[in-house]
């Protein structure tokens, strides 16, 4: 099942994507929670009811008639893993990490799968990072890797947009990773039962139609289960938390010479079976009051 959050008119709703159309769950299953994290937290029975309602729905909205929002509008946590692909570690010229390198992106950076990404006023050293993300489905702590599949609700595509000079000027990466609009996620959550084993998914990133990243999640140094085990040893994971698992080789800063993003560039990140993000880089608008 593909679970989405979408804007229709003045409303924001949760839906299921079926055959290129969206079923509005507020109509098809009005008793279910109307916010994605709450729907996930309601458990397997709620998801079964959502799937049944979607398959039986007679009214569907054309996918191109709605604006897709981030599947989780404001994740409780947006955690990310750095230096987690063998080919990316090789291009960076460093030793593979012995433990996952964890950082956070502030949840205010999250934006939709087709929304613009801002070129910051504070820096033009802007880069892309196509990544596999997963979404936690229930509150958990101290999850052993062999049971991690029980707490992963599904998978999505992430672009870990990064301001490189801000990332590298200080020991922690948060400021370089958390700029507003620098967390496109989506286009929907593909539930874990539909994905199966997430090791072996092709991941590609294009900039203006030019293929920049072409890798596979089998290159992950720490897979999704290992990441869940590591994170949950320290903090409680909650329904709606999003974890980005790291980017493969091919980032702009590592090219010779570097090929960073410019205003007007369009970045597409696609993962096999999960869909794609497609975001244009635009000049940051005037500051809001």
As a 3-state breakdown, the chain gives helix, strand, coil percent values, each rounded to 5, of 25, 35, 40
Architecture of 78-283 per CATH? Alpha-Beta Complex (3.90)
32: which 2 tokens?
């279910």
Position 286 confidence tier, pLDDT thresholds 50, 70, 90: confident
Q: Where are the alpha helices (DSSP H) in the chain?
A: 25-28, 36-41, 44-56, 86-92, 164-168, 174-177, 192-195, 224-232
| Rounded distance between C-alpha atoms, residue 218 and residue 176, angstroms | 27
Q: pLDDT for 227-280, tens place per residue?
A: 999 999 999 999 999 999 999 999 999 999 999 999 999 999 999 999 999 999
Kindly state the helix (H) or strand (E) to which residue 126 belongs, with its residue range.
Answer: strand 126-127
Q: What is the per-residue DSSP string for 53-90?
A: HHHH-S--EEGGGSEEEPSSSS-S-EEEEES-BHHHHH
| Rounded distance between C-alpha atoms, residue 252 and residue 46, angstroms | 42
Give CA separation, 17 vs 2, 44, 98, 112, 253, in Å.
5, 18, 39, 16, 36
Position 9 confidence tier, pLDDT thresholds 50, 70, 90: confident
Question: What single-letter DSSP state applies at residue 220?
Answer: B
142 in the Ramachandran plot: left (φ > 0), alpha (ψ -120 to 50) or beta?
A: left
Beta bridge partners of 125: none
pLDDT at site 4? 98
Position 93 confidence tier, pLDDT thresholds 50, 70, 90: confident
- Does the pLDDT of residue 287 top 80, yes or no? no
- Does the pLDDT of residue 288 top 70, yes or no? no
Q: pLDDT for 237-247, tens place per residue?
A: 999 999 999 99
Strands annotated E in 175-227 = 183-191, 202-207, 210-216
Determine the 3-state secondary structure of 32 from DSSP: coil
Residue 82 contacts residue 199 (beta carbons within 8 Å): no
Q: Where do the domains of the chain lie?
A: 2-68, 78-283
- Does the pLDDT of residue 26 top 80, yes or no? yes
pLDDT at site 289? 53
Mean pLDDT of the region 91-98? 85
230: which 2 tokens?
């590591």
């Amino acid at each position: 099942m593909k679970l989405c959050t979408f804007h229709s008119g003045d409303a924001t709703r949760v839906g299921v994507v079926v055959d290129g159309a969206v079923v509005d769950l507020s109509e098809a299953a009005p008793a279910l929670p109307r916010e994605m994290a709450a729907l996930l937290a309601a458990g397997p029975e709620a998801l079964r009811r959502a799937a049944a309602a979607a398959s039986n729905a007679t009214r569907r909205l054309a996918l191109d008639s709605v604006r897709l929002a981030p599947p989780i509008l404001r994740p409780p946590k947006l955690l990310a893993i750095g230096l987690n692909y063998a080919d990316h570690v090789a291009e960076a010229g460093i030793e593979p990490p012995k433990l996952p390198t964890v950082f956070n992106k502030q949840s205010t950076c999250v934006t939709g799968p087709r929304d613009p990404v801002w070129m910051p006023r504070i820096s033009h050293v802007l880069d892309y990072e196509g990544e596999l993300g997963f979404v936690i489905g229930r509150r958990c702590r101290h999850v052993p890797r062999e049971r991690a599949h029980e707490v992963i609700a599904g998978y999505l595509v992430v672009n870990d947009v990064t301001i490189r000079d801000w990332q590298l000027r200080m020991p922690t990466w948060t400021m370089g990773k958390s700029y507003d609009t620098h967390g496109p996620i989506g286009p929907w959550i593909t539930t874990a039962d539909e994905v199966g084993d997430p090791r072996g998914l092709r991941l590609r990133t294009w900039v203006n139609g030019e293929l920049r990243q072409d890798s596979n999640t089998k290159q992950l140094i720490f897979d999704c289960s290992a990441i869940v085990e590591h994170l949950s040893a320290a903090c409680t994971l909650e329904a709606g938390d999003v974890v980005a698992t790291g980017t493969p080789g091919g980032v702009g800063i590592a090219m010779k010479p570097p090929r960073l993003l410019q205003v007007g560039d369009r970045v597409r990140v696609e993962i096999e079976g999960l869909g794609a993000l497609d975001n244009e880089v635009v000049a940051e608008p005037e500051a809001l009051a």
